[in-house]
Amino acid sequence: MTSSAEGESRRIGLLGGSFDPPHIAHAILAQELLETLELDRLLIVPAAEPPHRDVVLSADTRLSLTRALFEGVEGVEVSDVELQRPGPSYTVDTLDVLRDRYPAVRIVLIMGADQFAVLDTWRDHGRIAAAAELAVMRRSGEEPRLPPGIGDIDYIVVDVTRIDVSASQIRERLRTGRSIRFLVPESIRSDIESAWVENNTC
pLDDT of residue 3: 36
pLDDT of residue 184: 96
SS3 string, 116-141, reads HCCHHHCCCHHHHHHHCEEEEEECCC
* pTM recorded for the entire structure: 0.89
pLDDT of residue 64: 97
Burial 104-115 (b: 16+ CB within 10 A, else e): ebebbbbbbbeb
pLDDT of residue 6: 44
Cis? peptide before 185, omega within 30° of 0: no
Bridge partners of residue 47, in order along the sequence: none
Distance CA 155, CA 139 (A): 16
Q: Which residues of the chain have pLDDT under 70?
A: 1-9, 141, 200-202
Q: Using one digit for the tens of pLDDT, what is the confidence trace for 88-106?
A: 899 999 999 999 998 889 9
Q: Using one digit for the tens of pLDDT, what is the confidence trace for 113-127?
A: 999 999 999 999 889
CATH superfamily of 11-164: HUPs (3.40.50.620)
pLDDT of residue 200: 60
Comparing C-alpha atoms, which of 199, 126, 176, 172 is closest to residue 23?
172
Q: Using one digit for the tens of pLDDT, what is the confidence trace for 66-85?
A: 999 999 999 999 999 999 99
pLDDT of residue 147: 84
Q: Report the relative pairing of strands 133-138 and 41-46 from DSSP bridges.
A: unpaired
How many C-alpha atoms does 100 have within 13 Å on its Cβ side?
6
Phi and psi angles of residue 114, each rounded to the nearest 5 degrees, phi first: -70, -40
